[in-house]
Amino acid sequence: MKALVYKGPGEKSWEDVPDPVIQQPTDIIVKIDATTICGTDLHILKGDVPAVTPGRILGHEGVGTITEIGAAVTTLKVGDQVILSCISACGKCSYCKKGVFSHCLGDEGASGIGWIFGHLIDGTQAEYVRVPYAETSVYVLPKEVTPELGCVLSDILPTGHEIGVQYGAIKAGDVVAVVGAGPVGLAAIATAGLYGPSRVISIDLDANRTEAAKKFGATDAVVSSDADWKQQVFALTDGLGVDVAIEAVGIPATWQMCLDIVRPAGHVANVGVHGKPVELALQDLWISNITMTMGLVNTNTLGTLLKMVAQNKIPAAEFISHRFALGDILEAYDVFGRAAETKALKVILTA
């Protein structure tokens, strides 16, 4: 089969590799119908994730059709079209029993890491993929949801919802600010609306992105390159700051922006993947009664979000900006890697 293979920092190749095979009785083999590229894949290609070694097939999102099942699989069958969760869960360990699938202790990859596709085992940017722990790690795709929308549910929608919205404890009437209008920030905006906030403010350097965020449910747009951006945010509140600030970029400057605009007793929910240390001025913050949260998505709300997408309660189709054939994945990487120029959000690759 063909697959996108990581060759080391800055290097990748679309090439022939051996077909995957059943290794454990709980495995299935899936023929990929649609997949996509994540910002994490770009981090890997930069060499930011040293656990990913040369030879690894990348990708952790996708929808596919089951072609083979392991001997222990009883609730899935050949021919089922399924969403592949970006988090694999054995369903039996102590963390899985608590719903903390992101820290699954199963024996695939490394203990305590639920994100294994395209990281510790071969991933979804291929014609076929082996899926471990199948019965607790895939969702049958209903007829109302296309494979393209299923890809959006693999990672970004649960990530924005769980780590941004749920960890941020958004409640009815809250004023929410989302710093960063990339795919995950937009996912936080789109799912925040399920909880009844009075305002959702999109903040980004790119005015085009903050305006586009209104398609996902943002009520207000603030361009952070404006000298008075902070004053604009405070003017949209009662002058005390926002109830919930969601960081969806992953750099020190945007982390500090969230701390600058959150009100006393508010929440700061970090969703961004940080590659550098950030300053935490506890000598100033200890008196503020703010709550800070962070984490890796568990995808324990994927099933709920799937129902919302099926009923058009979430504008999932708006995430898809570009479409390519799976064989054109190198071109897709180029477009996605130049998102500021190409205005790429999610690029969908179909077989």
Q: What is the pLDDT of residue 157?
A: 98
Cα 270 from Cα 7, distance rounded (Å): 31
Q: What is the pLDDT of residue 165?
A: 98
Helices (H), 173-315: 183-192, 207-212, 229-235, 252-261, 282-285, 302-310
Average pLDDT (47-62) is: 95
Are 62 and 130 part of one and the same domain? Answer: yes
Average pLDDT (167-184) is: 97
Q: In the listed set 260, 293, 326, which residue is the last one of a domain according to the structure?
A: 293
Q: What is the pLDDT of residue 267?
A: 98
Q: What is the pLDDT of residue 146?
A: 97
Q: In the listed set 293, 311, 342, which residue is the last one of a domain according to the structure?
A: 293
235 C-beta neighbours (distance < 10 Å), count: 12
Are 28 and 120 part of one and the same domain? Answer: yes
Are 150 and 264 part of one and the same domain? Answer: no
Are 309 and 263 part of one and the same domain? Answer: no
Are 80 and 188 part of one and the same domain? Answer: no
Is 308 in a helix, a strand, or coil?
A: helix
Are 241 and 143 part of one and the same domain? Answer: no
pLDDT tens readout for residues 228-285 = 999 999 999 999 999 999 999 999 999 999 999 999 999 999 999 888 899 999 999 9
Are 146 and 177 part of one and the same domain? Answer: no
Average pLDDT (32-53) is: 93
Q: Is the pLDDT of residue 30 over 90?
A: yes
Buried b or exposed e, range 250-268, using 16+ CB within 10 angstroms: bbeebbbbbbebbbeebbb
Query: For residue 32, what are the β-bridge partners?
Result: 64
CA distances from 106 to 92, 165, 317, 341 (A): 8, 28, 34, 41
pLDDT tens readout for residues 194-219 = 999 999 999 999 998 999 999 999 99
Q: What is the pLDDT of residue 321?
A: 96
Q: What is the pLDDT of residue 215?
A: 96
Q: Give the mean pLDDT of the chain.
A: 96
Average pLDDT (170-195) is: 97
At 340, the pLDDT band (50, 70, 90 cuts) reads confident
At 110, the pLDDT band (50, 70, 90 cuts) reads confident
pLDDT tens readout for residues 118-166 = 999 999 999 999 999 999 999 999 999 999 999 999 999 999 999 999 9
Q: What is the pLDDT of residue 155?
A: 97
CATH number of the domain encompassing residue 326: 3.90.180.10
Percent of the chain's residues with pLDDT above 90: 94
pTM given for the model: 0.95
CB proximity list for 28: less than 8 A, separation 6 or greater = 22, 66, 68, 69, 70, 73, 76, 130, 131, 134, 138
Looking at the structure of the chain, the number of domains it has is 2
Are 121 and 17 part of one and the same domain? Answer: yes
Are 146 and 170 part of one and the same domain? Answer: no
Query: For residue 286, what are the β-bridge partners?
Result: none
Q: What is the pLDDT of residue 274?
A: 87
Are 63 and 140 part of one and the same domain? Answer: yes
Are 8 and 141 part of one and the same domain? Answer: yes
Q: In the listed set 277, 293, 309, which residue is the last one of a domain according to the structure?
A: 293
Q: What's the domain range around 166?
A: 160-293
CATH number of the domain encompassing residue 289: 3.40.50.720
Q: What is the pLDDT of residue 111?
A: 84
Buried b or exposed e, range 44-71, using 16+ CB within 10 angstroms: bbeeebeebeeebbbbbbbbbbbebbbe
Q: What is the pLDDT of residue 279?
A: 93
Q: What is the pLDDT of residue 275?
A: 81
pLDDT tens readout for residues 1-25 = 999 999 999 999 999 999 999 999 9
Which residue, 211, 175, 224, 223, is CA-closest to 196? Answer: 175
Average pLDDT (56-60) is: 98
Q: What is the pLDDT of residue 109?
A: 82
Are 100 and 222 part of one and the same domain? Answer: no
